[in-house]
Chains A and B, each alone.
Chain A
Amino acid sequence: MKMTKRTTLATLALAALTTLGAFGAHAADEPLRIGLIGTYSGPYADYGRQFDAGVALYLKEHGGKIAGRTVEVIKKDTAGPAPDAAKRIAQELVVRDKVNILTGLDFSPNAYAVSAIATQAKIPTIVMNASSSAITSSSPYVARLSFTVQQVSDPMARWMIRNGIKESYVVVADYASGTDSFTAFKKAFEEGGGKILGELRTPMNNPDFSAYVQRLKDAKPQSVFFFFPSGVMPPAFLKVWKERGMDEAGIKLFATGEATDDSYLDATGDVALGLVTAHHYSYAHPSPKNQKFVKDFVAQFGTSMRPSYFAVTAYDAMAAIDLALAKTKGDVSGDKVMDALKGLSFESPRGPIEIDPVTRDIVQTVYIRKTEKVDGKLVNVEFDKFDKVKDPAKEAAK
């Protein structure tokens, strides 16, 4: 233990140096540090790839700079829904990497865990996907640019009522977002005078849907509405739906856009044809802004990956940071950035979007789309829409 004194001194000297470094960090050409928390490995690694692509595309279009500063994106992997990991990662990003902004956040539990850190550290946090309603209420430093499950389920119900569908059976995956979807759909459908005939909750790890679909067939409802997270569940459900001849039995099928997520649509195949869904983005959205977005995306990343709503939100998140920092004249302090984000409105590849000044949640157009084959490729063709949709859960709470 002879070294103790010297070690202590050395540590102190080092600490002093580090502090000096931190004070000197506000030089003008210091890069803007953005912490990107997403899933880069495991079954949901596609989410991270889409985030990266959207961020990279925006930065490329703007010469790698936001508000005149070069941008340094620090990526971290949570490998799926892992709130404890997300929280630890956010802590590291704030304390060690000294990020100015946190973003990413594909799973709701991760977003909730990170919002606590955002509040403590007063770091502006921009949610790129997590879609549970209360996330933006959990911290004044969280804003969302993606969507909420309720926001896309409610318009589907209203559209069905408007088009003469009076009764429906609901199938949702048995987890928090499934409950959200069911709640919003049921409320809007019943308010329109519709009747919910029944409800099926399927386990998350469900290999074969035939028993559930058979039950629906025997119940003979006028229509079925379903919500499953993007991935393997929707194609498995649709396969059994076609195999059982549900369309021939005259039962109409509706869903949210997760069922025909552009990332998985090719793999889903023809069983998705004709399905009517409600969502905020389709890569076939006909606006010039989106056509440019898709063209640039293909030029940059090729055709093996389609831009999905993840990539679009990542792209928009960068745009929102850019616009907000333009308003604060480059000031990155938490309160100023959050103030600048409130009420921000701009044109996204998905259409016009706005950040609600009160809830910091997204307000956007929700489109009704049908899966069709265009030029040999399956796409979601938008044919109807609901303008300026807010999160129904927060509207109801008012």
Chain B
Amino acid sequence: MKKELNVNHLTRVEGHGAVDIVIENSRLSEIRLRFAEGPRFFEVITKDRLYTEIPKIVSRICGICYVSHRLAAVFAIEDAFRVKVNRGIELLRSLLTVGEFLESHSLHIYFLALPDYMGYPSTLAMVKDYPNVVKRGFKLKEVGNRIMKLIGGKTVHGENILVGGFASIPSREELEEVGRSLLKLIPEIESTLFFLDGLEYPEFESSHEMEMCLNSPSPSLFSSEVSLSDGTNFTKREYELFVREEVSPYSTAKVSKVKGKPFLIGPLARVNRLELHPKVLELTKRLKHSFPSKNSHLANLARAVELLDVAYRGVEFVEELLSLYPFEPTVEVNPREGTGFGVKEAPRGTLYHKYTFDSKGRCIGANIITPTAQLQSVIEDDLRALVETSLDSEDSEIKKRAEVLIRAYDP
């Protein structure tokens, strides 16, 4: 007997996805995770455009993690033109990332994942019964948005983020205000963390062998080196040699493997390294759930851990920024022929941007590898493991479990 279970439109995830599960004679025979995103051809539309247009265009890859795409592009272009920015600009970019993680992780936790664990179809449906939980989600997001708007110019897609720095930088008072609001947020994030720790996560052990993230102690601190959980480190220039992409017959997202294997990226892969702010590390010891973990559902808890981590780091960034104030918002940029590489930890995992320019700074080639592409394979493996242990369950139950697992990744 053969049956096929389909989730045709995954909800509460950023993109368009669908899953097909084929069960034959009570055995799982096939899993397909299909991303049905309309292709947007970023490698084509960046071509022939001046370098100044690139960060703006590629920030539109994703409205939730645009800061990461925009910065990865900026890093790549600065790499190609051998531009070195000052510490102030670097810190402001780090603070921008703090804003992005706050917004993206709290959106994920409160609006995409939480309804699964609270038994509601959406967060908005929770308002009647849990007004304060919803408001806390809004508040965390709001602080993230305010930081991105202040530094980037707009909440989404921030045109103030440029190659070589920023058109202008926030005032001293505005930065002090960011520091104060982050400090005020810390207890709210701690509540979020313990709240998420108190939820019941499905028992699950992922089979993935490899985890990958940038070799940096915190997502908000940039790096040019990538680190694999088997101990291998490689530079951003070597990225395409390690992360190999293939076209999928049923998905518009390409499929990536490292050393021929699916690999985990994102909050769980990062938190599993336990390179956290000392205060956060201390707190994680009091959690019911512990890291490192192989349970992919715990990516949600890992997000809360990271929220706390970025808030503490953000306060430190503000302090250092104030000590440097005022600093030059931009450094000089002189285009030259060549190729540049940029990597960045987005909230969902590593991103890779590569551009080649002619001597006028016009783009003649691009390659971008997104977290979605890198996650496709590991999610399919996880789904396989999940369905194999759920074969006796009702069809609707299997589908539900699959959706909850995919949402933990939010590909």
A, B assembled together = no
Interface residues of A (CB under 8 A from B): none
Residues of B within 8 A of A (CB): none
